[in-house]
Chain A
């Protein structure tokens, strides 16, 4: 009797496998898009995308993290905007003049800029908003980004009133911003949410409830229509936007999906048109089955391991740090462990615009030569087979970080005989451990640039930076950064930053491992989503093509 069931069960399994053989991928690819012309648009212009963790707030000045920025970029617009491929372009400001010393910016606000309720967007709105951003009472997470603006640092620290911030409305449509130093990347910062204008009357009327859909007045290409926490955020086209004529989409759904596997299944079930998270363990399958829909592009981020320079055994032992850095075969990590097209890194700062760091000489050697040199340095540092180094690597819990750490630990073991213990910690625990620098030896680090300038990475290793988790403190490095800050844009400034990076790499407080790539799955009927270094995407550039099912035979 029991055999009956086993047979039944086996039959189900066989049926499942049989189906697999027919279409081994089980993907829905029977579509013709774009109609006859190939560019015919769909009637329903509704774009559905994943959006990682639910944003904590949609107040542009208090928001934190990528997912809030994704929404804010659609519903607000700063003085400067971005094109689909990430170039800066006039936003609310139609033009600007920069003084010769690079310290005074004067913006002409476009006359047709409107809030979603029809009010004009004025220079006063920006004065109010920038003051609000730096006011410590606003409780903004990103206010330190505005330090280049005159007096911003003192206002954030509560030592000055926000009225003393170097921002003035010269006329209703002319805004002047004074800076502490010439800051060549300042224009790029003006597309960040911390600099977005907020609608003063509604902020004053509703307090921190001004971000509710029924209250929110914004000035972007879209307006917030619905926000069901943990369900979706829906934005719809803003008819009052100055450039509404070029918008195609009517609505955009942002789904807060924090599980990469569920996100993929919803994408496969055609419930999402776009996702920017790809579960790494599914990557081989995706490359086999969804190759045409997978889009990989360089991303302005750096993955590294940091040494705790304040403690034994790494503080003061340069040969040891270099030995560990050289003994890592980065191509094994990028090609075999990760395999999405990440770029092996020998410098800390990813190449950006006119900037590229100078890799150390050994970057050009074969891995065998590097290993040989690493062994020499290892002995010089006072360790050998009889007296091996025992260290601990701490990283935040994630399958990818674990795989990278395992690969590195085994390379160190094989080449040098180092005994590596791996410790994973949940995110917030990890952040605290890393910040305290008390019992870290080697820690994982990753950083995505906030704006497209090398300085967003350089400043991380400044001795006074809160995010300098290695405790690297070098007067010459700090001096070069200061010197760069005092120069206006150009080769000399970049030279300072390059020198600073080379100096840092010579000391090696961090081991650069690889540069990030963005990985997107995009349905064939979506156009206008281009890869760009900061991975910023705006719905106003997106169009949805008409799609029809292929007749099935």
Chain B
């Protein structure tokens, strides 16, 4: 019951957070110099006037904001300024599945890869294996994905010619490999370091020493007693990791030409597509708030020491 109460409490807390986010994003977007109707070829006055009217740009800001919040409540993010034949809701719905696929695959890859590497390193602490694995972990963290992605393309698409260099192709798995790897590597590296550190700490803790003294086989100790506490910090890192994957996907989608939300975000900002940028920001905001809530709830289940009551 306390858990349910916790969830509802958090959900109620999310509403003001979202409102602040909306207002902040709204004023930030509007305060950017240049507007959606600035083109190389200037518009005739009459046409610009009609456009401004069609998008309610002549109302005072507070009125625009209230109208906007009102329409969001009905699930309508408004028409896009740039993609004039589409509504923002349509665009988000078409971009989100792509980003979701990319993001979920990257998180899983990062967890599996990072978890495995970290575990191996921790179990072979200070060995050659440990050092080599951690060295590559460091490299993985240090190389940003806008460098990693073209490097992967150069090796696998141009030199070896075994993987496509870009494009979505309706989500063909082959096309997802490089973007997912490029996105997951820095996170995998971080998770590996996190796992290693955490596991070493757990391995040196009293209860592990006790189980060892009791003569339990090593595998049992690790799988039954060590892994669970080891992954606690990893799970709490999943919230920030999701945020990092989202920001990373902005870059990766751009490089691989994937039709995801990140690309809409970048193009929307450059085009001063007010409604599209706002829509994506709010959507991302919801996603991050939701994901953090899930992580915190799961945390409660895994670690009974944490009780969600005030």
Residues of chain A whose beta carbon lies under 8 Å from any beta carbon of chain B: 1-2, 4-5, 8, 19, 26, 28, 53-54, 56-59, 62, 64, 136-137, 139-144, 156-158, 208-209, 211-212, 228-232, 255-259, 261-262, 265-266, 268-269, 271, 426-433, 435, 466-467
Report chain A residues within 8 Å CB of B83: 54, 56-57, 229
CB pair A262 B166 closer than 8 Å: yes
State A467–B91 Cα separation when bound (angstroms): 33
Residues in B143-161 with C-beta less than 8 Å from chain A: 150, 153-154, 157-159, 161
Instruction: Determine which residue in B39, B45, B161, B271 has the highest number of CB atoms from chain A within 10 A of its CB, and name it.
Output: B39
State A172–B167 Cα separation when bound (angstroms): 46
Given the interface contacts A141-B39, A429-B34, does A269 sit within 8 Å of B157 by beta carbon?
A: yes
CB pair B257 A256 closer than 8 Å: yes
Tell me if B64 is interfacial: C-beta within 8 Å of chain A: no
Cβ-closest 4 pairs across A and B: A428-B34, A230-B259, A466-B42, A231-B259
Report chain A residues within 8 Å CB of B85: 57-59, 208-209, 211-212
CB distance from B36 to the nearest CB of A (A): 8
Given the interface contacts A136-B47, A229-B83, does A435 sit within 8 Å of B35 by beta carbon?
A: no
CB pair B41 A265 closer than 8 Å: no
Of B3-11, B128-136, B181-189, the one touching chain A:
B128-136
Report chain A residues within 8 Å CB of B271: 56, 428
Closest to B155 in A: A16
Contact among B33, B86, B132 with A5 in the assembled complex (CB-CB below 8 Å): B132
Closest to A57 in B: B84
Question: Which size bracket describes the interface of B in this complex?
Answer: 35 or more
CB distance from B142 to the nearest CB of A (A): 13
State A115–B267 Cα separation when bound (angstroms): 34
CB pair A230 B264 closer than 8 Å: yes
State A255–B255 Cα separation when bound (angstroms): 13
CB pair A53 B267 closer than 8 Å: yes
Tell me if B196 is interfacial: C-beta within 8 Å of chain A: no
> How many A-B contacts if CB must be within 8 Å?
159
Contact among B35, B42, B95, B154 with A467 in the assembled complex (CB-CB below 8 Å): B42
Per-residue interface assignment for chain B, residues 85 to 127, with 1 indicating a CB less than 8 Å from any chain A CB and 0 otherwise: 1100001001100000000000000000000000000000000
State A1–B161 Cα separation when bound (angstroms): 35
CB distance from B276 to the nearest CB of A (A): 11
Per-residue interface assignment for chain B, residues 250 to 280, with 1 indicating a CB less than 8 Å from any chain A CB and 0 otherwise: 0000111111100110010011100000000
CB pair B41 A467 closer than 8 Å: yes
CB pair B154 A141 closer than 8 Å: no
CB pair B84 A268 closer than 8 Å: no
CB pair B46 A158 closer than 8 Å: yes
Mind listing 12 A-B residue pairs with CB under 8 Å? A53-B267, A139-B47, A141-B47, A231-B259, A256-B257, A259-B255, A265-B157, A269-B165, A271-B165, A430-B34, A466-B43, A467-B42
Residues of chain B whose beta carbon lies under 8 Å from any beta carbon of chain A: 32-35, 38-47, 50-51, 54, 82-86, 91, 94-95, 128, 131-132, 135, 150, 153-154, 157-159, 161, 164-168, 254-260, 263-264, 267, 270-272
Contact among A57, A136, A156, A271 with B166 in the assembled complex (CB-CB below 8 Å): A271
Report chain B residues within 8 Å CB of A26: 154, 158-159
Given the interface contacts A157-B44, A426-B270, does A431 sit within 8 Å of B39 by beta carbon?
A: yes
Instruction: Determine which residue in B47, B128, B154 has the highest number of CB atoms from chain A within 10 A of its CB, and name it.
Output: B47
Closest to B135 in A: A5
Contact among A8, A157, A212, A259 with B254 in the assembled complex (CB-CB below 8 Å): A259
Closest to A433 in B: B33
State A268–B131 Cα separation when bound (angstroms): 37
Given the interface contacts A26-B158, A157-B46, does A266 sit within 8 Å of B165 by beta carbon?
A: yes
State A368–B44 Cα separation when bound (angstroms): 45
State A19–B259 Cα separation when bound (angstroms): 34
State A431–B270 Cα separation when bound (angstroms): 12
CB distance from A374 to the nearest CB of B (A): 31
Closest to A6 in B: B135
CB pair B41 A142 closer than 8 Å: yes
CB distance from B79 to the nearest CB of A (A): 9
CB distance from B287 to the nearest CB of A (A): 19
Contact among A28, A211, A229, A435 with B94 in the assembled complex (CB-CB below 8 Å): A229
Report chain B residues within 8 Å CB of A62: 84
